[in-house]
Amino acid sequence: MTAPDASGQLAEQLLRLTRRLHRAQKRYLDPVGITPAQSRLLRTVAHYDTPPRMADLARHLEVVPRAVTTLVDALEANGAVRRVPDQSNRRVIRIELTDQGRSTLRELREARRAAVEDLLAPLTAEQRHVLGGLLTELLARPDHTG
């Protein structure tokens, strides 16, 4: 097999694995009652030290502000987040996690762990260690796609 063929095969394997992981995560997220996009937004809100603005979330998630509004509306209806006015500028709205949102995040973490465990089940501990090292190496490199 030539190098381009091997690279093409590896790319296809990575794409197939990614799709499999997405399907597994969706299967585990369904009982939590949250979509993958809502899950991503909720995790993003949790990473901020102070509640972020909608524009911050849109920029971080690389989506249009309207998409964030739709996600926040759904999460607010579920009681996971709430809109709060900024203390220094009342025209600015920030998004903060609620206790329900923190509980949902814990459920999400468990669902994601279970999905990954399903995916990695065939691997030995040593194989998982090697895979982790390879992924760390790939992720440490700069992203030149943007």
Task: Please give the tally of structural domains in the chain.
Answer: 1
Residue 72 falls inside a structural domain: yes
CB 120 within 8 A of CB 111: no
Which residue in this structure is represented by tokens 């025209």? 91
Neighbours of 105 (CB within 10 A): 19
Residue 10 inside a domain? The answer is no
* pTM of the model as a whole: 0.74
pLDDT digits (tens, 9 = 90+) for 93-142: 999 999 999 999 999 888 888 888 988 999 999 999 999 999 999 889 88
Beta bridge partners of 85: 93
Strand-strand pairing, 81-85 and 93-97: antiparallel
Contact 62, 52 (CB under 8 A): no
CATH number at residue 55: 1.10.10.10
Position 4 in a domain: no
Could you tell me if residue 15 is inside a domain?
A: no
Q: Within a domain: residue 39?
A: yes
98 token code pair: 């609620």
Q: Which domain holds residue 33?
A: 22-140
